[in-house]
Amino acid sequence: MFNIFKEKLKKGLEKTKTSFGDKLDSVLKVFKKIDDDLYDELEEALIMADAGVETSMYIIDELKKKVKENHLTEADEVRGAIKEIIADILSENDNEVKLSGSPAVVMVIGVNGVGKTTSIGKMASLFKSEGKKVILGAGDTFRAAAVDQLQVWAERVGVDIIKHQEGADPGAVMFDSISAAKARGADVLIFDTAGRLHNKKNLMDELKKIYKIIERELPNSSKEVLLVLDATTGQNALSQAKLFGEAADITGIVLTKLDGTAKGGIVIAIGHEQKIGVKFIGVGEGVDDLQKFNAQDFADALF
């Protein structure tokens, strides 16, 4: 099973590997010695893969230190050093999904269109496959379509869903979802929220209110606040992470559509600049193509 996941990750990162790993290899083949020109070309390769200017510069600075400290001379050694630096950046943040207490709460936020509902459905399927009883809370009450979509996923995966009518108070939906989760002995409650960011204050107030209800009703349960981002948007995903980070206490990132983009380097930028761990990545359309994130596996698949 573990190897199947690694294979899917490799396949899912094919476009990023082509834009980044292969570009890196061609640069290293051309340059016989390690000099400033090589560093400039490597930095460009990183930026092109959407690792971002700040993160790319950081990686090159770290590489220069490693070259000096370890007396590296061969291009292949440079490749290994970059891989190590990237794995270190991605390991610095907490990538583990916390699911303690009964039920554990996973609150999902993100703008519309990034694959939020799909991610919730796939997450429910993943937790269920691990033997957990899952319940969904339809807290995005501002869009009837969001509740309907979540209902479809609940039926598809075979889990319960708690929903109110359109326009209902998300806090009330959260309260009922917690009550149902307790009554039905659920292990995990995954709660959807409205995908709005144009008014940060409203979003902040709403999330605070929902969070207060969780704190009051489930003081001993773990609480994950996961931000869903679309990898195909590259640097825009980084901007969203910054904005949502100001509005909510994010504990992790779910990065979707990695298989459809050459911009997988955005994972590194988010890890380095936002200091938020990536907890899940989407590497395909299938229900089982949402994977728990592993920093070393990701760095390996990039090369």
Q: Which segments are annotated as binding site for GTP?
A: 110-117, 192-196, 256-259
The amino acid occupying position 4 is I
Tell me which residue has tokens 């039905």: 184
Cβ–Cβ < 8 Å for 289, 75: no
The amino acid occupying position 186 is A
Is the dihedral angle over the CA atoms 280, 283, 284, 289 positive or is it negative? negative
Judged by DSSP in three states, 74 sits in coil
Judged by DSSP in three states, 141 sits in coil
To the nearest 10°, report the CA torsion of 37, 39, 41, 43.
Answer: -150
> How do 278-282 and 290-292 pair as beta strands?
antiparallel
Which residues make up each annotated binding site? 110-117, 192-196, 256-259
Instruction: Give the tokens for residue 110.
Output: 């993100």
Judged by DSSP in three states, 186 sits in coil
Residue 234: partners with Cβ closer than 8 Å, 6 or more residues away: 50, 261, 263, 266
CA distance linking residue 280 with residue 267, whole number of Å: 11
Cβ–Cβ < 8 Å for 46, 269: no
